Amino acid sequence: MEFRPSTDSLVMEHDGVYSWLETQRHLWRIRWGLFSDKVRWFTGEVIGNPSALIGGLVMMFYVAMAVLAPRLAPASPYNGVLTSRLAAPAWVSGNWQHILGCDEVGRDLLSRIIYGSRVSLVVGLTAVGFSLVVGTGLGLVAGYFQGRLDSALSRLSDLLLAFPYLVFAIFVMAAIGPGLTNLIVALSFKGWVEFYRLVRGQVLAEKTKEYVEAARLSGQSDWSILFREILPNIQPSLIVLATLRLAHMIVTEASLSFLGLGVEPRIPAWGSMVNAGRDYMLSAWWVSTFPGLAIMFLALATNMFGEGLRDILDPRLKVE
């Protein structure tokens, strides 16, 4: 029996009887092999690219921080000890119990920052994920099939684009009130448009290329073409955009929290921490500064990762 494997079709010549299960097993082994090759290549590329490497590592650090928050945080982020109000960071006060000091109600700053990463990451990742899926899905369909759906969506996206991003998010939050899910909704409401436009534009461009014509001639269904031929070609720019938007959304979430329009007040969020510290800037500068640094480094890392990814995935690399 002879296998000539490729990614999506398996040509078998056999003079025995093979069960369907065997076939599937072989198929999946092949697919896994190709996948792990890709993963290996990708990791190699990331290591070679300093921007992506540093960015990626820092991002993973933040994710670890968010996931392991209960284990990592030295104190409770919710309950403050009023006697430690506005305690200075360890290197000033000498009290190593509160490494970064305390906020205005005595809560340990480090713990709050660690827990704050959860909000930022959850909101950012979910909003980006949602925007990505919705925007890409709609973009693929609109770009490929065009017609009324396309024009309707274009009108809608024009309308949404008429608002500057932050204004829109603020407006939505003002209307529906604070809260985690509301925040995600607000960010995604406009976020999907960017993905939609990118995907749609690229689908329109790819549609005219020969491989699409070839696939159609060989009898592939439209949906199959969309997902298995066109989508892989669009992936690189999509991934890069997603990363960059993630950075933007993290900053936007922080800005919204800063204005008091973020999550519920009880949940520690970096933006609201910065806001709370504003009144004490003269006496306790650390209350605002450290959360802000946390935001900045995460955004910076995400941007770096995105830029590095762009270098890796974009075939039009820099000229030697």
Partner 1 sequence: MRWAKILERSLLTIPVMVGVAIAVFLFMRLTPAADPVDLMMGEAGNVSQAEIERLKEEFNLDKPLLVQLKYFLTDLARFDLGQSITKRAPVGRLIKERLPATIELAAMSFLLALAIAVPIGILSAVKQNSILDRLSMGVSFFGLSLPGFWLGIILILLFSVKFGWFPTAGRIAYGVNLTDITGFHLLDSLLTGNSAAFVSALRHLFLPALTMGATMSATVARMVRSSMLEVLRQDYVTLARAKGLPEVSVICRHALRNALIPTVTVVAIQAGGFLAGNMIVETVFGWPGVGRLVVEAILRRDFPLVQGAVMIFAFTFIVMNLMADILYTLINPKISL
We find the least distance from the C-beta atom of residue 274 to partner 1, in angstroms, to be 6
Q: Of how many residues is the chain composed?
A: 320
Q: Nearest approach, Cβ of 114 to partner 1 (angstroms)?
A: 18
Over the window 260 to 279, marking each residue x when it contacts partner 1 by CB under 8 A and - when it does not, the resulting string is xx---------x--xx--x-
174 binds partner 1 (CB under 8 A): yes
**Choices 1-9, 24-32, 223-231, 303-311; region in contact with partner 1 by CB under 8 A:** 303-311
What is d(CA 40, CA 42) in angstroms, rounded to the nearest whole number?
5
Site for partner 1 in 128-167 (CB under 8 A): 155, 158-159, 162-167
Which is nearest to 134 in space by CA: 119, 156, 167? 156
Query: Please, which residue, 95 or 289, has the CB nearer to partner 1?
Result: 289
For 192-204, give one letter per residue: b (16+ CB within 10 A) or e: bbbbbbbbbebbe
Select from 86, 171, 216, 280 the one that contacts partner 1 (CB under 8 A): 171
Q: Which stretch binds partner 1 (CB under 8 A): 101-109, 125-133, 173-181, 204-212?
A: 173-181
Residues 6+ apart with CB under 8 A from 77: 107, 108, 111, 112, 114, 115, 116, 268
From the list 158, 139, 159, the residue with the least C-alpha distance to 149 is: 139
**Interior CA angle at 196 toward 192 and 200, to 5°?**
175
CB 243 within 8 A of CB 307: no
Binding site residues, partner 1, CB under 8 A: 155, 158-159, 162-167, 170-172, 174-177, 247, 251, 254-255, 258-261, 271, 274-275, 278, 281-282, 285, 288-289, 292, 295-296, 299-300, 302-304, 307, 319
